A = this chain, B = another copy of it.
Amino acid sequence: MRVSRLMLVTLRDIPADAEITSHQLLLRGGFIRRVTSGIYAYMPLMWKVLKKITAIVQQEMDSAGSLQTLLPQLHPAELWEKSGRWQGYTAGEGIMFHLKDRQGRELGLGPTHEEIITNLAGEILHSYKQLPVCLYQIQTKFRDEIRPRFGLMRSREFIMKDAYSFHSNESDLKSTYQRMDNAYKTIFSRCGIDTVAVDADSGAIGGAASQEFMVTAEAGEDLILISPDGSYAANQEKAVSIPSPHEPLPEGDPIEFNTQNQGSIESLCLENELLPSQIIKVILMIVQIENGEIQPLILSLRGDQDLNEIKLANVLSSLLKKDVLDIQPITSEKLKSEGLQEWPFGSIGPDLNDNLLEKAKSWNKQFLRLADHTAASLEYFVCGANKKNSHRNFVNWKLIGGIPLTFDIRQAKEGEASITDKSQKLKSCRGIEIGHIFQLGTKYSESLDANFTNESGKQEPFWMGCYGIGISRLAQAAVEQNHDNAGICWPISIAPFEVIIVIANMQVKEQKDLGEKLYLKLKQANVDVLLDDREERAGVKFKDADLIGIPWRVVVGRDATSGKVELIKRNKRETELLNIETAIRKLKSEIMTNDG
């Protein structure tokens, strides 16, 4: 390919609306163009990157025994109603674009394909003998994001590889899940990016176990906790750890004391010579449950701990056996609109009386009381006295009605000990999620009546797994991880071209001829080569070559007369002056090594 035919238009200035480096570089290099909020056109250079990533993904999915397919993007509402996700995905969070066709039938634009594939599998697969089966597709998906941003990182149209597996039992699911885990590691390593696999929350997709694959990068939206020995890694949403020990409170007789102007844990500690780990922090929340109930919560945490809302939501779902639609703090405004009197915020203890709820219009009339393990295990502690400006010291759980239901609902943090090895202190880093694998279990097959006949002749719902890779996000994450001040440094396996030949001065016949000769020879050797044959100054061409990030650059300049060219490795900036035959030999061997 010749740059003169590539429709390449690069920008020198940083586009105003691009916040992170990879987004800026993709716009500046002419890889993508914004069409409207969160919606981009992939220009020819970008398409080449996406095609290379896609080819790697296909090869590895195929060799993991997965069959490629293509499912519709328009989904009939009925299937999503059957799985129980239509409301949440349209009216609720509203992440699914949806429309009515000319017959007035509702259709959603697929953000994910569990419903479609499970329904199909139920129609096609009838016997355990046909199992296991794993199907995948590579396709544009849609999400009506609340806040589209960061280019391809959080866009409203994006390319995904999604795979779904069907099994006759859980252990077969687990073995495919393991095979996918391995395939994913191979895929990311072949793409030339560093990733870390972390335990993750399963979120709206659901299921038993799930693991995310993160590209580590400063601009990542996720926080990851890792033990230095690599034995533990998890998304903070899901992470567990050994909490730091608390400072025991001396035994003593329960006593109330005045705490005016001591509404925060800090001020309480400062004024009374206490430590946060000696205090029970109470958090009041209100939960919307899918059956319409509204449940007030009292959460008890140790004063030095923070609430993890995702853990809380999961605890509540499994405790109530119902989906949780929304969790919000209880505020004075909320009390008012429920027709309730003000509560003594800042001085509330775990034993706040249920009779405060008596006159609530729509709330349940009893608190659900939960504690984090760190709070439940305190023998003596300080806590609010449920009276304005008043706390209690030397309290124990017996005194205040016993220990509530206890769970892990706290945020794990950097510096805490790993559960895999106490001596390992967790470190934190930021990551970009580019892959996610799930053991779904029978959640979708049950709701969609997708059954098979097992070995004993009985009907049973499929065991299912699902496995996603964000193809377009991966491409941008690769840039976030591989760039310098001058531009992108594509890993060679996903670079739009492997080599760029820059003819320094098109007016000099020797340079032009040698450049063309080299171009032809590299093409013949199956090297993916780009020739910058533009009538531009050498400086402009070098800047563009740096910006678009082709791994190898060959400059045909002054030394062309003696048959020599300059070979430059983009990421290391190493330069060698070689005669053309040596340059070709070196490029072929470097590129072959990578392919193998």
A residues neighboring B (CB under 8 Å): 5-7, 9, 30, 33, 35-37, 39-44, 47-48, 50-51, 65, 67-76, 94, 97-99, 101-103, 105, 107, 109, 116, 119-120, 123-125, 130, 133, 135, 139-140, 142, 144, 146, 156-157
Contacts and interface: CB of A to CB of B under 8 A. Distances in A.
A72 B41 contact: yes
A248 to B, nearest CB: 51
A69 B97 contact: no
Contacts of A51: 68
Contact of A135 (B7, B67, B116): B7
15 contacts: A5-B65, A6-B67, A7-B135, A33-B124, A35-B116, A36-B107, A37-B103, A41-B70, A41-B72, A51-B68, A72-B157, A73-B73, A74-B97, A98-B99, A140-B140
Contacts of A33: 120, 123-124
Contact of A71 (B41, B72, B74): B41
Nearest to A9: B124
Given A72-B157, A102-B94, A140-B73, A7 B67 contact: yes
Given A47-B68, A94-B102, A144-B102, A74 B156 contact: yes
A256 to B, nearest CB: 50
Contacts of A37: 103
Nearest to A67: B44
B42 A70 contact: yes
Contact of A50 (B5, B50, B70, B146): B70
A65 B4 CA distance: 12
Contacts of A140: 70, 73, 139-140
Contact of A47 (B69, B99, B125, B156): B69
A214 to B, nearest CB: 26
A41 B36 CA distance: 29
Nearest to A42: B70
Given A33-B123, A47-B70, 13 more contacts: A5-B67, A7-B124, A7-B130, A39-B74, A44-B68, A44-B69, A70-B140, A73-B73, A73-B140, A73-B157, A99-B99, A99-B109, A102-B144
Contacts of A142: 73-74
A47 B58 CA distance: 13
Contacts of A103: 37
Contacts of A135: 7, 44
B97 A99 contact: yes
A274 to B, nearest CB: 46
Nearest to A140: B73
Contacts of A5: 65, 67
A252 to B, nearest CB: 56
A438 B41 CA distance: 23
Contacts of A101: 97, 144, 156
A125 B67 contact: no
A74 to B, nearest CB: 6
Which of A33, A71, A72, A99 has the most chain B CB atoms closer than 10 A to its own CB? A72
A51 B40 CA distance: 25
Contacts of A75: 35
A33 B124 CA distance: 9
A47 B68 CA distance: 7
A67 B120 CA distance: 36
Nearest to A33: B120
Q: Which residue among A7, A76, A103 has the maximum number of chain B CB atoms within 10 Å of its CB?
A: A7
Contacts of A76: 35-36, 39
Nearest to A41: B71
A455 to B, nearest CB: 16
Contacts of A73: 73, 140, 142, 157
B69 A43 contact: yes
B7 A72 contact: no
Contact of A116 (B9, B41, B123): B41
A5 B66 CA distance: 9
A6 B66 CA distance: 9
Contacts of A9: 124-125
Contacts of A123: 33
